[in-house]
Amino acid sequence: MHVAYHTQTVGSVEVFYREAGRVDAPVILLLHGFPTASHMFRELIPLLARNYRVIAPDLPGFGHTQAPARGAFDYTFDNLARVIDDFTEALKLDRYALYVFDYGAPTGFRLAMAHPERVTAIVSQNGNAYLEGLSDAWGPWQTYWREPTPEHREACRDSLSPATIRDWQYLLGSDPQRVSPDGYTLDIAYMTRPGADEIQLDLILDYRSNVAMYPEFQAYFREHQPPFLAAWGKHDPAFIPAGAQAYRRDLPNAEIRLLDTGHFALETHAEEIGELMHTFLDPILLA
């Protein structure tokens, strides 16, 4: 199954995306996280495309999506969701399952709240919506949220460093022999582009809006009861397993699978996650 690479103009943004599978098959929309892009799905897409139309865009400020500079575009999660919402409209995606990871979770949950009738199922891979899912490592970000001073902004810059991306985001909690250097090397390169660091610091500040919306996300879950699978790297240093288990509070039928890996679970467990997704989604979407 080949993967095609496209762009779609959405207002002032040119969204890059990967696509595979039959155009008439049920759609799975893959939403990546920080600091990566749709490249993170390179192994998962072919595994899903035998039964599904798989679409994986790069969010504004990430990967190959071309978006205006700071000042001409407001880098907030509301705006990321708005662009992806318009992207789905442009592609005429009226029904889709969501796979959300990290930053993709608050982006995707905003879509789900806006269009609950469109969402056929949700797979959350270390995509958090509960306070108990936040580890103790969030201290500098939380300080910046409370007091957005230049000093506190600067203290968050370490989150963008090559060492943090490689050693903390990718390798911590994972078997390093199973983690290809391609992913973190590419993400580190993305971060060196002019203006990329300031865009990411803007989004770090706005991440507080996601935490503030957790009660709204949870209300959506309770009201609409979407079929839900959490496939969670249990050694994630940022989003701990309690965040996966918490989904059952609002989604009693949620399936929770804890995997022996870290934050970027697809780097080591793409095949396992693909199998979990087929077992979960096929009876819902292919019946």
Please give the pLDDT value at position 140. Answer: 97
Secondary structure class of 180 (helix, strand, coil): coil
Average pLDDT value for residue range 26-31: 99
Q: Hey, which CATH number is domain 4-136+211-285, 3.40.50.1820, 1.10.390.10, 1.10.10.200, 3.20.20.10? A: 3.40.50.1820
Could you tell me the residue ranges of all domains in the chain?
A: 4-136+211-285
Do residues 229 and 255 touch, judged by C-beta distance below 8 A? yes
Q: Is the pLDDT of residue 287 over 90?
A: no
Alpha-carbon distance of 2 to 50, in angstroms, equals 10
Does the CA dihedral 41-46-49-51 come out positive or negative?
negative
Q: Is the pLDDT of residue 185 over 80?
A: yes
The residues annotated with a catalytic role in the active site are 263
Kindly write down the DSSP assignment for every residue of 105-146, as one continuous string: HHHHHHHHHH-GGGEEEEEESS---SGGGB-GGGHHHHHHHH
Does the CA dihedral 198-204-208-210 come out positive or negative?
positive
Nearest to 98 by CA among 207, 3, 228, 215: 228
pLDDT in tens, 111-161: 999 999 999 999 999 999 999 999 999 999 999 999 999 999 999 999 999
Average pLDDT value for residue range 174-200: 98
Strands 13-20 and 228-233: unpaired
Average pLDDT value for residue range 173-196: 98
Residue 250: pLDDT band (50, 70, 90) is: very high
pLDDT in tens, 91-101: 999 999 999 99
Do residues 48 and 276 touch, judged by C-beta distance below 8 A? no
Nearest to 175 by CA among 44, 274, 264, 242: 264
Q: Is the pLDDT of residue 1 over 90?
A: no
Please give the pLDDT value at position 32. Answer: 99
Question: Rounded to a whole number, what is the distance in angstroms from the first to the last CA of the chain?
Answer: 22
Tokens 């288990």, located at residue: 245
Contacts 24+ apart (CB under 8 A), 163-171: 165/35, 165/191, 168/237, 169/35, 169/263, 169/264, 170/262, 170/263, 170/264, 170/267, 171/262
Q: Is the pLDDT of residue 56 over 80?
A: yes
Alpha-carbon distance of 286 to 52, in angstroms, equals 9
pLDDT in tens, 255-283: 999 999 999 999 999 999 999 999 999 99
